[in-house]
Structure 1
Amino acid sequence: MQDYEKSEVNNKNGVCGVNVLSPTLHEAVKDIIKREGYLTHELNARSLPQDGANYMTKLVVATIKGKTAEGDKITDIFVKEILPDDENSFFLGSDFHLHELFVYREPLRYYMKFQEEAGIPIEDRYNIAQFYEESNSEFVILENLVSQGYTTVNRMDPITLNFAEQSVQQLAKFHSLAFVLKKKLPDYFDEKIKSLKYQVNFEGKWTTFLKNIYPVTMSELNDDKKKKTEAFLPIVVEKFPQYYKDTSVGCLCHGDYRANNILIKVDGGVIKKIIPVDYQVIRYGNPITDLIYFIFLGTDQQFRKDHLENIKNLYYDTMIRFLKYFDMDVEDYFPRTQFEKEFVAKLDFGFMSAAWLFPFLFASEDDLPEINGAIDKVEYKVDKRMKCRIEGIVDDFIKWGYL
């Protein structure tokens, strides 16, 4: 086999060929080829189109196939390449990217080490995608889990109970490992973790953005419900940033823990394994916000009626059990009484998150919003499924006394 890098061709699923790789990324891939021991290789790369699940990065997948001293080998990689910053936005994508790069290089490596040292069975660990050291300030390179049979659920459909249970258990383990990191490396935790803030400027442009997108989410409510949600908007503007700044429970939070940021492997209709990804919104804060965010962006009203209490309890009970591997008591870090109070006190974070994210979560795949440029002029075309989901959330929060 000769060394071969496929030329660029058009493809309905994006663009194929090594020409989709930037010069820097191409050099990084060459370094991977060398480090993986390829004697000869064929490299095929293609960009992925936007599908409404990703707005801040360009996505590329590449397959390296060839021979090593040990025999035939295939390496599939997935790349998140940073897009140029938009000076008109209320956030900088480069800041989020550097956070994700840091998390894979440091905290997640500690998490893998801690679990190994504690002798936690593979099937009971927090699952982490393989990270390649060739990642840098321009891109993050990971194993391509899709090539291994992983997929994501449809971002617009309500999640199933089985998916919710496994996802919440993984989230509880992720937060538990933050407490382990805090105990084992307190100086590191104070210096590196506590400094991770949510990279959004909540002044000026954020307020303008929120006031413009909020009516889009509420547009199909009846007049009475619309008035109730309009009256709540000033509270959202004031309280939402406070939730992101709250550190009453010091923890490393995922920040964007929702269904389409969780990859699943299904066998015979049963979810066998899940791997959380997309850590660019990682931050130091209150873990309750991750749990509530996941619930309200992924479930419908009937699910919350049937399972909300059980899902909440499963999260906490998983922390109790998982921390025992490290001879730690969750009560020393997140007492049950505080957990229950925090959950009730911050429940409206679910409404607030849905209020500004639903137009992106339910963006029509054939007409995605252009978020570059003037944020007060963005047009949103949303799927009809959003109406039922936001109505259910508004109904819940009316029933709970928030609206």
Structure 2
Amino acid sequence: MQNEKREISIEHDKENGLCENNVLSTTLEVAVKNIIKREGYLTHVVNARRLPLDGGNYMAKLAVVNIKGETADGDKEIDIFVKEILPDDVNGFFLASNYHLNELYVYREPLKYFQKFQEDAGIPIEDRYNIPKFYEESNSEFIILENLAKQGFTTVDRMEPITLSFAEHAVRQLAKFHALSFVLKSKCPEYYDKRIKSLKLNMNFNDKWKKFMKNIYTATTRDLCGDAKKKAESVFPNVLERLPKFLQEEGSIGCLCHGDFRANNILMKVNDGKIEKLIPVDYQVIHYANPVTDLVYLIFLGTDQKFRRDNLENIKNLYHDTIARFLRYFDLNVEDYFPRVEFEKIYIDTLYYGFITATWLLPFIFADHEDLPEVKGVVEKVDYKVDKRMKCRIQEIFDDFIQWGYL
């Protein structure tokens, strides 16, 4: 019981100015103390530091905590990653607390089901949907996960097009995530109908949202050339009309959707130049919807025109083939949950969501590392620096959708 009487010693990393206010919240300190107690530390030192914004996350404050000390079995070190909730109503059309609570729910329930389903089915570790370790001390103020950076995981450069290898690994993970949603539907139909189908996107498509969209769309399209320039203004009303429908309506096929499945939200471990493992994270935009929205979201926020011309059809096929293969672990037939013919139809209809997504999210992805925006400020104006590479990326997307007959 000696460790219960010891005060938690927290040392803040001041070298790089990474720890705002040099203080973790009282409730977070209590959570860390509970972890220390459960892990059996006899002595311990806690080092905590805040992480700066890097353009990959706009919905939470981030921190990492290192715990070192002695246990009855010898020295022990734990590294955890903390996402702390932002103040509510940061921009007038969504509440940060709703997104945080959705992510908390996903870690506490659906992902636990997914983990158990995979274990019970005896799926090889290397073929599973990968889920980070979640700490039960997480609450309505913060989510605590293992710090995967300490295990060699990194993220790709958000401004660079993803490689074919990364795309294939990511699409396989996405397909397994959606397949596990269908498994949950099969094994727990009442829970699925009550809890999963009711999980809607918490966004208010009000006048502030419309103003935000107009500002961000204008910033995205101001440097377009040729036919794209001519069509940009006339297309905007359709963007405003269809985006809420894509986000709120599941159509003929629905399942649990990640909602923010882009390259920067997928942690990657590389060994000898080859991708060894991907772990998707950041489930705060989780909702029940059309699964293909996740697929085209990844594609149009992370690829360039050459990649799409060379690989789009194969990536599409890989996605559905992986769902079919993964469902066989559970003796389920993909035709009963996501028929191929229906998938092809939904894919064609949903490609346009990829276009819409690019028109309002690319300015965040290409935000200059030295001039990162605040979501609240963008409602009024877009006055931050955007990397010059965005001009080419959005031009290519407009050109593709003109060629494909969507614009």
Q: Which residue of 1 aligns with 2:324?
A: 320
The answer as to whether partners of 2:161 and 2:303 remain within 8 angstroms in 1 is yes
**1:133 aligns with one of 133, 136, 146:** 136
* Aligned match of 2:344: 340
Contact 2:13–2:49 under 8 Å retained in 1: no
Instruction: Please give the secondary structure, in 2, of the residue aligned with 1:211.
Output: helix
Q: Is structure 2 residue 232 aligned with structure 1 residue 225? A: no
- Indicate the SS of the match to 1:326: coil
Matched pairs, number: 402
Report how far residue 192 of structure 1 moved: 0.7
CA deviation profile, 1:159-204 (whole Å, cap 9, x unmatched) = 0000000000000000000000001001101111111111111122
* Cα distance in structure 1, aligned partners of 2:377 and 2:386: 20
1:349-395 deviation digits (Å, cap 9, x = unpaired): 11100000011010001011122257123423100111111111111
Q: Write the letter of the residue equivalent to 2:313.
A: E
CA shift at 1:9, angstroms? 5.2
1:139 partner letter: F
Partner Cα distance (2:153, 2:222) in 1: 36
**Bigger mean CA deviation after superposition, 310-319 or 370-379:** 370-379
Match of residue 166 from structure 1:
169
| Of 181, 185, 191, the match for 2:184 | 181
Q: Secondary structure at the match of 2:65?
A: strand
Match of 1:79, SS?
A: strand
Residues 119-157 of structure 1: CA deviation (Å, up to 9, x unaligned): 100110000000000000000000000011000000000
Counterpart mapping for 1:145-164 below 5 A: 145-164=148-167
Partner of 1:111: 114
Map 1:141-290 → 2, pairs under 5 A = 141-222=144-225, 224-248=227-251, 249-290=253-294
Amino acid at match of 2:53: Q
Output the amino acid matched with 1:160.
T
Secondary structure in 2 aligned to 1:78? strand
CA distance in 2, matches of 1:292, 1:298: 10
Give the one of 356, 379, 402 matched to 1:398.
Answer: 402
Q: For residue 42 of structure 1, report the CA deviation from its aligned partner.
A: 1.3
Question: Is 1:96 equivalent to 2:99 in the alignment?
Answer: yes
SS of residue paired to 2:380? helix
Deviation of residue 250 (structure 1)? Answer: 2.0
Aligned mates of 2:279, 2:403 — CA distance in 1: 35
Task: Determine if the alignment matches structure 1 residue 47 to structure 2 residue 40.
Answer: no
Distance 2:233 2:331 in 1: 49
- Aligned with residue 355 of structure 2, among 335, 345, 351: 351
Given that 2:179 and 2:323 are in contact with CA atoms closer than 8 Å, whether structure 1 keeps it comes out as yes
SS of residue in 2 equivalent to 1:310? helix
**Helix, strand or coil: the match of 1:25?**
helix
Q: Secondary structure at the match of 2:69?
A: strand
Whether contact under 8 Å (1:253, 1:286) holds in the other structure is: yes
Letter in 2 for 1:20: V
Contact kept? 1:165, 1:314, Cα under 8 Å: yes
- Structure-1 residue corresponding to 2:89: 86
More deviation in 79-88 or 369-378? 369-378
Find out whether 1:11 has 2:50 as its counterpart. Answer: no
Q: Distance in 1 between matches of 2:147 and 2:378?
A: 34
Deviations 1:10-61 (A, max 9, x none): 23261289x4311110110110011111111111010000011111111000
Q: Matched residues, percent identical?
A: 64
In the superposition, relative to structure 1, how do residues 363 and 374 fare at CA in structure 2: closer, same or farther (>3 Å)?
closer
SS at match of 1:265: strand
Q: TM-score, normalised by structure 1?
A: 0.97
SS at match of 2:149: helix
Aligned partner letter, 1:75: I
User: 2:186 is matched by which residue type in structure 1?
Assistant: K
2:296 is aligned to: 292
Unpaired stretches in structure 2, ≥5 consecutive residues: none
1:274 and 1:13 map into 2 onto residues whose CA distance is 30
In the alignment, the residues of structure 1 paired with residue 381 and residue 180 of structure 2 have an alpha-carbon distance, to the nearest angstrom, of: 42
Measured against aligned partners, the alpha-carbon deviations of 1:187-230 in whole angstroms (never above 9, x if no partner) come to 10111111111111112221111111101111111254222111
- Quick one: which of 34, 37, 43 aligns to 1:34? 37
Offset from partner CA, 1:310-351 (integer Å, 9 cap, x none): 000000000111000000001101100000000011111111
CA contact (8 A) 1:3 1:40 kept: no
Question: Which range moves more in the overlay, 356-365 or 244-253?
Answer: 244-253
Worse-superposed segment, 132-141 or 88-97: 88-97
Q: 1:88 to 1:309 in 2, by over 3 A?
A: closer
Cα distance in structure 2, aligned partners of 1:87 and 1:272:
37
Do the aligned partners of 2:266 and 2:280 also contact (CA within 8 Å) in 1? yes
Structure-2-length-normalised TM-score = 0.96
Query: Relative to 1, partners in 2 of residues 1:24 and 1:344: Cα closer, same or farther, differing over 3 Å?
Result: same
User: Cα–Cα, structure 1 residues 368 and 29, in superposed 2: closer, same or farther, change >3 Å?
Assistant: same
Could you tell me which amino acid in structure 1 is paired with residue 196 of structure 2?
I
Opposite residue 362 of structure 2, the aligned amino acid is F
